[in-house]
Amino acid sequence: MVTSPRTFTAIVNPAAGGSASASTLIPLARTLREAGAELAVEYSRGLEHAAALARAAAAAGRVVLGVGGDGMVGGVGGALAGTGAVLGIVPAGRGNDFARQLGVPSDPAELAALLLEGEPRRVDAMEANGTAVLGSVYAGVDAVANDNANRTRLLRGSAAYYVGALRAIATWRPADYRVTVDGAEHRLRGYTVVAANSGYYGFGRHIAPGARVDDGLLDVVIIRHAPRRLFFAVMRELPDGSHVRRPEVAVLRGREVRIELADPARTLPYGADGELPGVLPVTARILPGALSILAP
């Protein structure tokens, strides 16, 4: 039970969601301070700087708040994975998919109550090519769409993801994958492979409806090659997760997943928590209970 007000350091991505960070953080900060909590605010210059700020705040015994979207939350949370420090999420980005999976409220009053009174719970994280990730790693047309959305300046939120996806699909060539799950190799031609700790990605798309953040497993969702009209049907089913019933979609589970291309001459990016850290191959493994987080 919490016996005294917590001390917080909020690490803010000034670019996330336009003015969403300020409009979310200002009323939240007021409520926290009125309750007697101490809150410091730090503005990051990028994900590496955010990670350094998070580690410094955690070393001082403070609850670290990631303010922004999935990239920011992943960067801050990844820096705290395995340390025992406590993370809080302030959803203020375009996607907010990890917060959605955990049921973290966006209303400032409800969020303040959770941060002040909630008990930390342990959730899993992932490691992908040596980098901690919270939500998912994905390699395919979705990573290309992610890149397109990140480059879009005129659109926000789901519109940016949707337009980015249309552009990606229009130019997509089927990829030949080798996917190894806990030592078992699977060869396939398809649109994407997703290794998911959290069930949501891409602004509320329920790509892995069976994924749980505390089961010690990754859900590996494979969308095989199919005519574009069927792929668009799968896209329409992503918000409610019903796509997994289609024969073009397979779901595997395991603790370690390696995704690579069979064609060494082709280059394909992979995404992680809304960022694009590199190109295939990527090896992702689960880190059971690695993160302590304030969530329902």
* pLDDT tens digits for range 15-50: 654 456 778 899 999 999 999 999 999 999 999 999
217 vs 148, residue with greater confidence: 217
Gap between the Cα atoms of 242 and 8, Å rounded: 39
CA distance 193 to 205: 15
Residues 87 and 182 in one domain: no
| Mean pLDDT score, 277-291 | 97
Q: Under a CB-based contact definition with an 8 Å cutoff, are residues 221 and 194 in contact?
A: yes
Helix (H, G, I), strand (E, B) or coil at 10: strand
Measured CA to CA, the distance from residue 116 to residue 30 in angstroms comes to 13
Distances (CA, A) of 272 to 31, 34, 39, 53: 33, 37, 29, 21
Do 274 and 168 lie in one domain? The reply is yes
* 128 domain-assigned: no
Domain CATH number, residue 45: 3.40.50.10330
Q: For residue 102, is pLDDT > 90?
A: yes
The span from the CA of 261 to the CA of 240, in Å, is 29
Q: Are 76 and 159 in the same domain?
A: no
Residue-number span of the structural domain to which 265 is assigned: 133-288
Please state, in angstroms and rounded to a whole number, the distance separating the CA atoms of residues 294 and 33.
18
The residue among 96, 100, 139, 101 whose CA lies nearest residue 277 is 139
CA 279 to chain centre: 18
Domain match, 199 and 243 both: yes
Q: How far apart are CA 290 and CA 145, in angstroms?
A: 30
296 within some domain: no
pLDDT-based confidence at residue 155 (cuts at 50, 70, 90)? low
Q: What is the DSSP-derived secondary structure letter of residue 46?
A: S
Q: What are phi and psi of 56, to 5 degrees?
A: -65, -40
Bigger pLDDT: 93 or 269? 269
Q: Which residues of 63-99 are buried (b: 16+ CB within 10 A; e: fewer)?
A: bbbbbbbbbbbbbbbbbbbebebbbbbbbbbbbbbbb
State what percent of residues in the chain have pLDDT above 90: 77
148 and 193 assigned to the same domain: yes
pLDDT at 1: 44
Does the structure show a pLDDT above 80 at 167? yes
Q: What is the pLDDT of residue 4?
A: 65
Return the minimum-mean-pLDDT range out of 201-210, 250-259, 278-287: 201-210
The predicted model gives 89-94 an average pLDDT of: 90
pLDDT given at position 217: 98
Q: How many residues does the chain have?
A: 296
Q: Judge if 102 and 200 occupy the same domain.
A: no
Query: Is residue 294 included in any domain, yes or no?
Result: no
Q: Scanning the structure block, which residue is given the tokens 């799950």?
A: 181
Q: Is the pLDDT of residue 250 over 90?
A: yes
Same domain, 284 and 226: yes
Residues 150 and 284 in one domain: yes
> Do both 266 and 195 map to the same domain?
yes
Residue entry with tokens 């955690």: 58
122-151: per-residue pLDDT in tens? 999 999 999 999 999 999 999 998 888 777
Tell me the CA end-to-end span of the chain in Å, nearest whole number: 15
Average pLDDT, the chain: 92
What total of structural domains would you count in the chain?
2
The one-character DSSP state at 277 is E
